[in-house]
Every structure is written in structure tokens, then in C-alpha cells.
């Protein structure tokens, strides 16, 4: 792992570095056993990292998306599954922070998240719609101040381990599939009946099994804004940017292992160009491209946050989609190059240069959300939207 950030004892980075050290220790076991990274998540809670995004007025630390993305990158260098859990928690938390502050119940919920370091899961996929999070089949039913929801959720992010779940549905029984709301359910307000096992190629430790979700809670737990606004103004950007932070972390660690391999080869043959040196330079170039892409995306999001119209614009959606596409495709190229540099020592498990876990985890990037679906959405927008070509943003 390589953490270049200058840290102080109580900085976000210092706390994340301590979590990353624990996550790295168990990363291979988490992957091999396909188990939840409990040790890393316990460390996140102990360092109070699960509430840093929440406003200070509600018990948090008002961390920016840029600061959180940096922590995602640090954790991604240690254990991609742990980093992804952290990222997905903060993606869901962004919906509360950006759209729930003025709701008494959701503001109090954020105070509880901060006080108790609750882990928030996500349920946006559904049997019959696949990964199209902007459509729902199930509908929330509200009667007498109580809401009830049953959903065939084919994936719930670390569902069995979450302390609460934010779940999408149609706004009511007669609503169109795209007329959705987002509801927060606490752990004692729902039951989960497992329907699909999370037995995947990579990101095995996220344990995002499928469940039949049945929940009942006060109707005040439904976020007041339509999910269309929540998705456009916070969830889209935070997903693409925080995921990209995780993937960048995977790429950094792959590069670091390849660099260590080339340096070891150079020491064995002083004066001779080590095998893989030129390819390492290519990887450095690709890594810088990913960093520049993510940094530009983070700046665009931070600049746009004060303008809801800009956040909901086609230009902003296209820009965020492009960040995701570029990051998810390039990290695979980086890890592939790193494995070619390390050769059989990168291909084998249990060596200091092993990259099998990195390669398998990196393959998830193009599927979360499917790049084909994102490109389809972007192509539709580009029929009516002119591409921004200015270097000034």
C-alpha cells in the first residue's frame, strides 16, 4: 500500500490509514472465504468514519465528497471489498445529507447514525427490472401514517450486515414505474428472506445477497423528495465518483506491486534495463489519466452542488457518466498491464506480487451500473445536448 497523504493524528486520512491496515490484514481471507469484512467495518466504526459526511449540526464532520473519495482510494489499496462497503454506505448517506436535512425524522436518523455508527445498506435492484434503478415494480403502501413495502430485491448491498436499508419503490400502487420514492427502514422494521447467494468473481466480501424484503415503518421515513431528484442531484454523482475512488485505489496497489517487481529485477541485474520497465511507464501514464478524470469529476460535482438545476442538467449527467465509463475501463487495463509485468508471480496467489484479487475485483467496475446501460443513456442525451469541449469546465 502507498498512502502519500500527509496526515495528522486525528485527520480523516490518519483514521482511514488505521482502518486500511486492518483491512489489508484480512483482505485475502475476506476474498477467499467470500465473507463480510467485519474487522474493517468494526474499525471504521471505531474511527467514526461512517458519519463524517453528516453535517456537524447533526453530529457528523461535514466531510466533502472529495474527502470521502480520497478515503475510498486509501481503503481500495488495502481491500476493495471493505472500500466498496464504505463507498456504498456514503453513497446512500449522501441521499440523506442532500435531501433529508429539512425532514425531522431523517435529521434525527442522521443524528443516530452519527451516535451509533450505523451502516446503511442499499436496495435499488429488483427482480424483473435488473439493474435499472430508475424503475420499480414494487410499490410502497401508505395507510394510517404507516408505510408497508415488499420487494424482491435481487441484490441488497451487504444486506444481512446493514443496520438500516434505503430502498426504492413506486410512490404508490397506481404510480408509473419511474415515479419512485426512497424509504429508510431500520433493522427492526423489516425482515429479509434470502433468495440469491452472492457467489461472485470479485468483490466477494460485499456479501450483496438477494432477499425478499418485507418492511413496515412510519410513513415519515419516506424521503420527501421524489427519487428522480435524489438520483439526479446526489446519487448519480456520488456513486460514480466514490466508486471511481475505490477503483483508483485498486489500480494504485496493482501499480505499486508491479513497481516493486521491476525494482527487484533491477537490483538483480544492475546496469541492465529490467524487464517490464517500459510497460511500468505505460501503467504510470494510465494511472495519471484515471486520477485526472476522477479529480475533474469531483471538482465538477463540488462546483455544481449549490445549483440544483445544474445538478439535474444533461451536461452534468453526461460528465458524470463519462467519469464512470473512463475509470471503470481504464483500471482493468492497468491491472492487466501490472500482471504482465509481474508475470507468473502476479498470476500466482500468495506472493508479494499477486494480482488475481485485484483483477477479479476490477472486473466489477464495468458492471456497477452496467457500462452498456450508461452509454445508452448518454447516447440518448447527446441527441439533444451539445458536448462540452471547453478546457475551463
Domains along the chain with CATH numbers: 12-118 (1.10.540.10), 121-221 (2.40.110.10), 227-382 (1.20.140.10)
Set of cell numbers at residue 134: 430508475
Rg (CA), the chain: 21
Evaluate if residue 4 carries a pLDDT over 90: no
CA of residue 330 relative to chain centroid, distance: 17
- From the number of C-beta atoms within 10 Å of its C-beta (0-12, 13-18, 19+), residue 243 rates as buried
- Closest by CA to 130, choosing from 160, 153, 156, 151, is 153
pLDDT > 90: percent of the chain? 86
- Residue 139 has what DSSP assignment? B
Distances (CA, A) of 56 to 61, 63, 94, 196, 228: 5, 9, 14, 39, 27
Average pLDDT over residues 192-200: 96
- The pLDDT tens digits for 18-37 are 999 999 999 999 999 999 99
CA angle 9, 14, 18 (to 5 degrees): 115
pLDDT-derived band at 6, boundaries 50, 70, 90: very low
Q: What pLDDT, on the 0 to 100 scale, is given for residue 95?
A: 96
d(CA 254, CA 338): 6
Set of cell numbers at residue 50: 461512517
Q: What pLDDT, on the 0 to 100 scale, is given for residue 3?
A: 47
- The pLDDT tens digits for 41-89 are 999 999 999 999 999 999 999 999 999 999 999 999 999 999 999 999 9
Evaluate if residue 112 carries a pLDDT over 50: yes
Sequence-distant (≥ 6) Cβ neighbours of residue 238 within 8 angstroms: 65, 90, 91, 94, 301
d(CA 299, CA 66): 8
CB 136 within 8 A of CB 130: no
Q: State the average pLDDT for the chain.
A: 94
d(CA 207, CA 85): 9
pTM comes to: 0.95
Q: What pLDDT, on the 0 to 100 scale, is given for residue 388?
A: 79
For the chain, the straight-line distance linking the first and the last C-alpha, in angstroms and rounded, comes to 33
d(CA 170, CA 13): 39
d(CA 46, CA 250): 24
Set of cell numbers at residue 80: 476493495
Q: What pLDDT, on the 0 to 100 scale, is given for residue 148?
A: 98
7: helix, coil or strand?
Answer: coil
- Closest by CA to 164, choosing from 118, 197, 209, is 118
Q: What pLDDT, on the 0 to 100 scale, is given for residue 393?
A: 64
- Closest by CA to 243, choosing from 59, 374, 338, is 374
Evaluate if residue 138 carries a pLDDT over 90: yes
Give exposure, 110-121, as e/b (b: 16+ Cβ within 10 Å): bbbbbeebbbbb
Average pLDDT over residues 142-165: 97
Q: What pLDDT, on the 0 to 100 scale, is given for residue 9?
A: 52
Q: What pLDDT, on the 0 to 100 scale, is given for residue 390?
A: 81
The mean-pLDDT minimum among 45-54, 118-127, 129-138, 280-289 falls in 129-138
Amino acid at each position: 500500500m502507498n498512502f502519500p497523504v500527509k496526515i495528522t493524528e486525528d485527520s480523516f486520512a490518519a483514521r482511514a490509514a488505521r482502518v486500511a491496515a486492518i483491512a489489508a490484514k484480512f483482505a485475502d481471507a475476506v476474498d477467499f472465504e467470500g465473507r463480510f469484512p467485519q474487522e474493517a467495518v468494526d474499525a471504521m466504526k471505531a474511527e467514526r468514519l461512517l458519519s463524517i459526511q453528516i453535517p456537524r449540526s447533526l453530529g457528523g464532520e461535514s466531510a466533502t465528497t472529495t474527502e470521502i473519495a480520497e478515503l475510498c482510494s486509501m481503503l481500495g489499496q488495502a481491500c476493495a471489498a471493505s472500500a466498496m462497503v464504505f463507498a456504498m454506505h456514503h453513497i446512500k448517506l449522501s441521499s440523506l445529507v442532500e435531501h433529508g436535512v429539512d425532514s425531522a425524522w431523517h435529521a434525527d436518523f442522521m443524528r443516530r447514525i452519527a451516535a451509533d455508527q450505523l451502516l446503511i445498506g442499499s436496495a435499488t435492484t429488483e427482480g424483473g427490472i435488473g439493474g435499472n434503478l430508475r424503475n420499480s415494480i414494487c410499490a410502497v403502501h401508505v395507510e394510517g401514517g404507516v408505510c408497508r413495502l415488499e420487494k424482491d430485491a435481487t441484490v441488497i448491498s451487504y444486506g444481512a450486515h446493514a443496520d438500516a436499508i434505503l430502498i426504492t419503490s413506486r410512490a404508490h400502487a397506481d404510480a408509473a414505474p419511474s415515479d419512485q420514492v426512497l424509504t429508510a427502514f431500520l433493522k427492526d422494521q423489516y425482515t429479509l428472506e434470502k433468495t440469491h447467494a452472492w457467489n461472485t468473481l470479485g468483490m466477494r466480501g460485499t456479501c450483496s445477497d438477494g432477499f425478499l424484503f418485507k418492511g413496515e415503518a412510519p410513513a415519515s421515513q419516506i424521503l420527501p423528495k421524489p427519487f428522480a431528484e435524489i438520483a439526479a442531484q446526489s446519487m448519480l454523482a456520488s456513486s460514480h465518483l466514490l466508486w471511481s475512488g475505490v477503483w483508483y485505489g485498486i489500480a494504485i496497489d496493482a501499480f505499486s506491486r508491479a513497481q516493486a517487481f521491476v525494482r527487484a529485477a533491477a537490483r538483480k541485474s544492475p546496469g541492465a534495463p529490467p524487464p517490464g520497465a517500459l510497460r511500468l511507464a505505460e501503467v504510470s501514464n494510465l494511472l495519471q489519466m484515471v486520477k485526472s478524470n476522477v479529480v475533474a469529476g469531483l471538482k465538477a460535482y463540488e462546483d455544481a452542488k449549490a445549483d440544483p438545476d445544474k445538478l439535474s442538467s444533461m451536461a452534468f449527467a453526461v460528465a458524470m457518466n463519462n467519469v464512470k465509463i473512463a475509470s471503470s475501463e481504464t483500471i482493468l487495463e492497468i491491472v492487466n498491464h501490472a500482471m504482465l509485468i509481474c508475470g507468473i508471480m502476479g498470476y500466482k496467489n500468495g506472493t508479494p506480487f499477486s494480482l488475481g484479487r485485484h483483477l477479479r475485483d476490477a472486473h466489477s467496475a464495468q458492471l456497477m451500473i452496467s457500462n452498456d446501460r450508461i452509454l445508452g443513456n448518454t447516447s440518448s442525451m447527446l441527441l439533444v445536448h451539445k458536448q462540452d469541449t471547453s478546457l475551463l469546465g
